[in-house]
Amino acid sequence: MTTISSTSTSSFYTSAAEQLATLQGQVNAVDNSISTGNQYTSASQDPEAAAQMRMLQLQDSEAAADKASSNKASANLQLADATMTSMINDINQARELTTQAATGTLTDVQRASIGTQIGQIQQDLVSLANTRDAGGNALFGGGVAGNAYSLDAAGNATYVGAATSPSLPIGGGQSVQTSLTGPEVLDMTDAAGNPTNLIDTLGSLASALKAGGSGAQSAAATALTSLSNGLDAVTTAQTVIGSRESWLTLNAQNQTAAGTARATEESQVGDTDVSSAAIKLQELTTALQASQACFVRLSSLSLFNDIGN
């Protein structure tokens, strides 16, 4: 007669318990993947997939930082664009007033009044040139903390900003300058071809018109050419800003497309296929229930009862 030792009985119970625990663990893992939507709960389940997910998540973090930087650059460029539009409006208003002052029918008093208005336009242009960005720095001053321009007692403008505008990264190893410096916007040549800037041109014109006399009318006529040159300078600068805005828009579209592609890949690698997981859960649950029932039946046989006695 075959003898079954208590050691064999113990091994049976241990092996059965381990099998049931393994099945229960698989059931729990699949159930957790369905409830969380994550296919893997630990890197050890699929090291290759875990490494791929870490790489994709790192790219997501870098893309988020690039997007924030790009949004900041876009905000500054939009502000620069809008400010230049105001500058252009000032120049056009100055040209209209100067055209009136260049006619021979005006009196010195009338030209002086126009000179005062031109002076006010100059002050507005200085204020626009000293516009601050969202961080409180000079938008047209290369990002310095103070103003881009200062005026001396005679009304002459001096650029006191940095030599270049700051740049911000926008992803893919690319960066964009967030504005232009004051000289890039306002520097020009006068009617005689001499280098100057729009602020000084308006200041000189205002002084000449206020002084009156025979030179006031000719100063106005000459200033029309200078103001046209100034208008060309600002509109050219605005075109540069507009091209950067368009580039940022295109870059944002590319970044969005790349983000969508990463999200799709992340879903394919790490997300749970609920339909397949539900089928697997049903299969594992059925297997677990069957194993439990089999274990109960085997453990209740008289042979095992006798061995246990």
Residue 13, CB-side half-sphere exposure with 13 Å CA sphere: 11
Averaged confidence pLDDT in the chain: 82
49-65 per-position pLDDT tens digit: 667 767 767 777 887 88
The predicted-structure confidence for 263-272, as pLDDT tens digits, reads as follows 776 666 655 5
Note the pLDDT of residue 259: 77
pLDDT over 50 (residue 302): no
Residue 303 reports pLDDT greater than 50: no
Residue 6 has pLDDT above 60, yes or no: no
**What gap in Å lies between CA 72 and CA 212, rounded to an integer?**
48
Reading the block at residue 194, the tokens are: 């001499």
CA atoms of 250 and 110, how far apart (whole Å): 51
When pLDDT is cut at 50, 70 and 90, the band that residue 18 belongs to is low
| Residue among 155, 73, 167 nearest 119 (CA) | 155
Structure tokens at 107: 């009196």
Kindly state the helix (H) or strand (E) to which residue 255 belongs, with its residue range: helix 214-270
Residue 245: enclosing H or E segment and its boundaries?
Answer: helix 214-270
Side chain identity at 126, as an amino acid letter? V
Q: What is the pTM of this model?
A: 0.72
- Smallest Cα–Cα separation from 80: which of 250, 293, 243? 243
Confidence check: pLDDT of 119 > 60: yes
Q: Which two tokens stand for residue 140?
A: 């047209």
Residue 99's closest CA among 118, 82, 116?
Answer: 118
- Kindly state the percentage of the chain with pLDDT values over 70: 69
Alpha-carbon distance of 286 to 99, in angstroms, equals: 94
More confidently predicted of 302 and 66:
66
pLDDT, mean of residues 41-55: 66
Residue indicated by tokens 């600002």:
234
Q: For every residue of 175-224, which 3-state class applies, written as one string? A: EEECCCCHHHHHEEECCCCCEEEHHHHHHHHHHHHHHCCHHHHHHHHHHH
For residues 223 and 200, give the distance between their C-alpha atoms in angstroms, rounded to a whole number: 11
Measured between alpha carbons, how far apart are the two ends of the chain, in Å? 18
| pLDDT value, residue 216 | 96
Residue 275: pLDDT above 70?
Answer: no
CATH of 57-266, one of 1.20.1330.10, 3.90.180.10, 3.90.230.10, 1.10.600.10: 1.20.1330.10
Domain extents in the chain: 57-266, 274-309
What separation in angstroms does the CA of 57 have from each of 49, 60, 112, 171, 269? Answer: 12, 5, 67, 16, 12
Please give the pLDDT value at position 270.
56
Phi, psi of 134 (to 5 degrees): -65, -25
Supply the pLDDT for residue 80.
98
pLDDT in tens, 124-179: 999 999 999 989 999 999 999 999 999 988 889 999 999 999 999 998 889 999 99
Main-chain phi, psi angles of 87, to 5 degrees:
-60, -45
